[in-house]
Amino acid sequence: MNHLDKLRLWGKAIRVMASKHQAVQLPKEGQPDAGLTRDYSQNPLHRFKKPGSKNYQNIYPPSATLHLSNIPSSCTEEDIKEAFTSNNFEVKAFKFFPKDRKMALLQLSSVEEAVLALIKMHNHQLSESNHLRVSFSKSNI
């Protein structure tokens, strides 16, 4: 909540706060809900489910620099840049980690663009068995 409250997204500031409700009442099986309620608790894309995990320890506030991981060894810098530019993101800088080419940093022009890129590019398929993992970075390039 601290990282996302008042963040600009699609040209507007979003508001994030704790709900006064302690639980979400899911509709009964077969009951209409107009698609307004979904249970994401078992979704495999939830990276921050386990407190104390490596992912949980690497939660950083939104920044223009993204941390990319799960990059296959066959992917080049140009392949990754092309994946972002083909989705209308302007890559300002890129750098593989020196000791681990499965990870890289990618810098975009603004925090807002980086938030949109994280939304769009997380879980982007890079190879038959590799899907890109995207998070905000504490480092700059």
| CATH class belonging to 60-136 | alpha beta
How far is Cα 103 from Cα 73, in angstroms, rounded to an integer?
10
Domain boundaries defined on the chain: 60-136
* Among 7, 130, 141, residue whose Cα is nearest residue 74: 130
pLDDT tens digits, 54-77: 666 678 899 999 999 999 999 999
Distances 79 to 20, 83, 97 between C-alpha atoms, Å = 45, 6, 16
Q: Model confidence over 15-57: pLDDT tens digits?
A: 999 999 888 888 887 777 777 787 777 887 776 666 666 666 6
Report d(CA 9, CA 1) in Å as an integer. 15
pTM: 0.80
